[in-house]
Amino acid sequence: MLVAEKTTLIVRHGAGDVERVFQLEQWIDRPLADFLGEEVAQRTALVSETAQKRAFIDTISAPGAALLDVTAHVIDDYLIVEIEPKVAAVRSSTKLLGRIEIASSALDQATTLKNLCDVAAVQFRELTRYDRVMVYRFLDNGAGAVLAEARRDDQHSFLNHHFPGSDIPQQARALYIRNLLRVIPDVNYEAAPLRPPWIGPVALDMSDSILRSVSPIHLQYLKNMGVGASASVSIVKDGILWGLIACHNETPLAISYDIRATCRTLASNLARQIKTREEAEAYRERLRLRGSQDDTITLLSRHGSLEEEIANHVEDLSRLIPCDGFAVLRGTELLLTGTCPPEQDVRKLTEWLIAKSVESVFSTNRLVVSYPPAEDFQGVTAGVLTVLLSVEERWLLVWFRAEEVQIVKWAGNPHKAVELKPGETLTPRSSFEAWQETVHGHSRRWTLAEIEAAGRFRQELLEFRQNRRLRELNRQLIETIAEKDLLLEQKQFLVGEVNHRVQNSLQIVSSFLSFQARESGDVAFGNAVEEARRRISAVSLLHRSLYRGDEIGVTNAGRYIEDLCGNLIGSMGNEWKEHFALHLGPVMLPIDRVIPLGLVVTELVINVNKYAYSGEPGPIEITLTENQARLRLVVADKGRGRTSARQGFGTRMMTALVGQLSGHLDFEDNAPGVRVVLSAPIMHQ
C-alpha cells in the first residue's frame, strides 16, 4: 500500500515490502511515478479528480519482472494505492462474460427463495473454485442461518446451521455494507505496519482498503473452522445487509481481480432477485388474505346483526388467518373453536389483553414473554393475534397458534459465544461441532401481511357495523323527521367548515408572519420567519390529509411524502424542483405514524436548505423503503461538511418525533454532504 498526497502525488506512507518489490532503498517522499511509471501514475491521479470510491488502474511490471495489479481510491486528502501480485486468470474475459450470462440465467429461472439461494451457492463455487460456498442470511434476532451450500463431497455440511449474532459484530456488518467483497488469500499472513507511523488526531481511514488487515479475532475464528482462505461477498438489499456469500478454502487461495469484480456483479444481481421474490411472495400473501377477508365480510353481511353473524360463523372467522384455534369474546359470552387453552385460561388472557391493550391489533409469537401465565398452557398456545373491536363492550377476536418446537442446529454452542467474565475480551469460538438446541415457547411468526390483514379486517368490521347502524338510524329518521337530508348536509358542512377554518387560520398566521418580516427589514428575522412559514405549510398539509377520506387508518407514506415534498418545494422556490430526487416505496403506515414521519422529513429538508446550502438550491435525495417490518428513511445532501461538523439536528422537537416513532437517527458521511438515516418499526411497539 502506498499513501500519496492527492494534490502532489508524493508518497508519504507505505506498507509491505516496498523496498524489495520496487527495488528502492529510499522510497518515502518520492513521486508516485517512481513506483508506477509516469503514465500509470497520471491515470491513478484521475481517481482523485473523479472522486471514485475505488478503481482498477492497470497491471504493471515490477523491476523484478513480476506482474502487479494496481487499484486506487481517495480518502480525505490522500490517494490510497494498493498493489497486489497479479493472479493468473483461470478464465479469459470472454469466458467470464459467458459465466456471468450462465449464472444470471440460472438465477432468473429459480422459482423460490430457497431454490434461488441453492443456485447462487453452486454458481459462486463454480466461479471462485473455493472448497465451500455458503449463502448465509441474517435473521431478525441478529443470528445467521446457512440457507444454501455448495461444497466438496468429503466435507461436512453447515447447511441449515445457525451462527450466533456475536460471530459477526455490528461494526463488521457496517463494513460489509460499505465494502461488498473482502478476500483473505491466506489466514496465516503477517500484517505489515504503515511506515512511517501515522501521526495525527485521526487515524487513516482504511475502511475502503482491500489490503486492510483483518481482526485477529476473525483470523482465529477462521482457523478454528479449518479455513485457510476466505472471501465474503455482501448481499445488500435496499441498503440493508440481508446476508453474505461466504466462501471458504482449506488451503491458501488467491482469486484474480476479474473474478472479484464478477462476484460483485453477481451479488448485486442476486440481491435484486431476492428482493423480487420476497416482494412477490408478500404480494401473493396479501392477495390471498384480502380475498379471504372479502369473502368473510360478504358472509357476515347477509342476514342479521354483525354480533349475531360473528357468533354464527366462528369457524369461518378462524380460517381468515392461518391458526390453530380461535376465540370470540363479547361481554361475558366466550366462543371457542379449534385448539385453544382451557376456557378459564382464555378468559384470564382476554381480561389481560383488554386491560393492557391500547392497540387495536396485538401480536406475539412468544406469549409467555409478555404474559407469564401462558407457561401453564403447556405448548397448546404460544402465540396470539388479537383484534380489539370495543373496550366498552369487551369485544375481542383472538387467533391462537400452538407452540412450534424447533430443533435448531448451531455451529457450536451459541451460549458459550457470548459468556464473558468481567475483564475478558471477545474471543473467537474454538469449536464448530454441530450443537443442537430445542427451542420452546415459540409459535410460527405472524407475518406483516397477516397483521395488516387483521387490522384491515377490524376496520372493515367497524365500518360495516357503523354503516349498518347509520342505515338503521336513517330509516328511523325518515319515519320521524322529514328534514333528514338537511341534517346530513349540516353534518357534512360542519366537518368541512372545521377543516376550512383551520386552513384559514393557518393562512392568516402565515400572512401575518410575512407582513412582520417585510416591516422589520431584519434579514435574520426574515429568515426565521420564512422557516416558520415552511413549518406552517407542512402542518397545513398534514391537517388536510386527515380529511382526504380515501384512506382510513392507514395511508401510503411514499405518496404522502411525495405530496409533502411538492409543498416544500413550493415554499422554498421552484428552482429547488430539479434538485429533488425521490425514491419512495409504497410503505403503508398508520396515519398517526405518517404524520410524525412527515414532520421529520420537513425538519430534515429545512435543515439541508439552511445548513448544507445556505438557502441556495442543491441536490436533495429522499429514499423510503420497507424491510422486515421496519421503515428506512434516508435524506441525503451534497452540501458542506462531514457528519462530525454538522449541528442543528439535536433539537428537542426532532428527538420527540423520532421517539414517537420508536426509531433512531444515524448521521453518515455522504462524501460530500450528510446522509441522515431514520429507522423505525412499521407498527407501534
Please give the CATH architecture assigned to the domain spanning 2-85. 2-Layer Sandwich (3.30)
Least confident of 354-368, 506-520, 605-619, 624-638: 506-520
Cell numbers at 469, concatenated: 347502524
Superfamily of domain 301-402+444-467: PHY domain (3.30.450.270)
Least confident of 40-44, 63-67, 175-179, 567-571: 63-67
pLDDT band at 530 (very low <50, low <70, confident <90, very high): low
Q: How far apart are CA 489 and CA 485, in angstroms?
A: 6
Residue recorded with cell 423503503: 625
Who has greater pLDDT, 346 or 143? Answer: 346
Q: How far apart are CA 531 and CA 538, in angstroms?
A: 11
Who has greater pLDDT, 470 or 231? Answer: 231
pLDDT in tens, 178-187: 888 999 999 9
Q: Kindly tell me if the per-residue pLDDT of 513 is higher than 70.
A: no
Q: Which of 257-271, 375-389, 436-450, 645-659 is most confident?
A: 257-271
pTM over 0.85: no
Q: Pick 553-685's CATH classification: 3.40.225.10, 3.40.630.30, 3.30.70.940, 3.30.565.10.
A: 3.30.565.10
Q: Kindly tell me if the per-residue pLDDT of 605 is higher than 70.
A: yes
Least confident of 60-69, 122-131, 216-225, 509-518: 509-518
pLDDT in tens, 552-577: 467 888 988 998 888 888 878 889 99
Per-position DSSP letters for 619-651, written without gaps between them: -EEEEEEEETTEEEEEEEE--SS-GGG--S---
pLDDT in tens, 235-262: 999 889 999 999 999 999 999 888 998 9
Q: Kindly tell me if the per-residue pLDDT of 419 is higher than 80.
A: no
Q: Cα-flanking dihedrals φ and ψ of residue 552, to 5°?
A: -120, 125
Average pLDDT of the segment spanning 431-444: 57
Least confident of 195-199, 417-421, 608-612, 622-626: 417-421
Least confident of 21-30, 92-101, 535-544, 598-607: 535-544
- The region that residue 593 occupies, defined by phi over 0 for left and psi between -120 and 50 for alpha, beta otherwise, is alpha
Q: How far apart are CA 617 and CA 312, in angstroms?
A: 63
pLDDT band at 494 (very low <50, low <70, confident <90, very high): very low
pLDDT in tens, 572-604: 888 999 999 999 999 988 877 888 898 899 889
Q: Cα separations (Å) of 190 from 17, 23, 193, 370?
A: 12, 21, 10, 51
Q: Cα-flanking dihedrals φ and ψ of residue 495, to 5°?
A: -60, -45
If you compute the radius of gyration of the chain from its CA atoms, what whole number of angstroms results? Answer: 31
Query: What pLDDT does 651 receive?
Result: 63
Who has greater pLDDT, 433 or 678? Answer: 678
Q: How far apart are CA 611 and CA 225, in angstroms?
A: 50
Average pLDDT of the segment spanning 648-658: 71
Least confident of 111-125, 146-160, 161-175, 493-507: 493-507
Q: Which of 298-302, 326-330, 570-574 is most confident?
A: 326-330
Q: Where are the beta strands (DSSP E) in 211-297?
A: 229-237, 240-249
Q: Kindly tell me if the per-residue pLDDT of 537 is higher than 70.
A: no
Query: What pLDDT does 272 receive?
Result: 92
Domain residue extents for the chain: 2-85, 93-187+227-280, 301-402+444-467, 481-550, 553-685
Who has greater pLDDT, 353 or 622? Answer: 622
Q: Do 402 and 443 touch, CB atoms closer than 8 A?
A: yes
pLDDT band at 38 (very low <50, low <70, confident <90, very high): very high
Average pLDDT of the segment spanning 13-27: 92
Q: Kindly tell me if the per-residue pLDDT of 545 is higher than 60.
A: no
Least confident of 36-40, 363-367, 495-499: 495-499
Please indicate whether the domains covering 301-402+444-467 and 553-685 agree at the CATH topology level: no
Query: What pLDDT does 555 receive?
Result: 81
- Pairing type for strands 630-637 and 620-627 reads antiparallel
Query: What pLDDT does 638 receive?
Result: 92
Q: Kindly tell me if the per-residue pLDDT of 218 is higher than 90.
A: no
Q: How far apart are CA 567 and CA 559, in angstroms?
A: 13
Query: What pLDDT does 596 receive?
Result: 87
Q: Do 27 and 4 touch, CB atoms closer than 8 A?
A: no
CATH 3.40.630.10 fits 93-187+227-280, yes or no: no
pLDDT band at 521 (very low <50, low <70, confident <90, very high): low
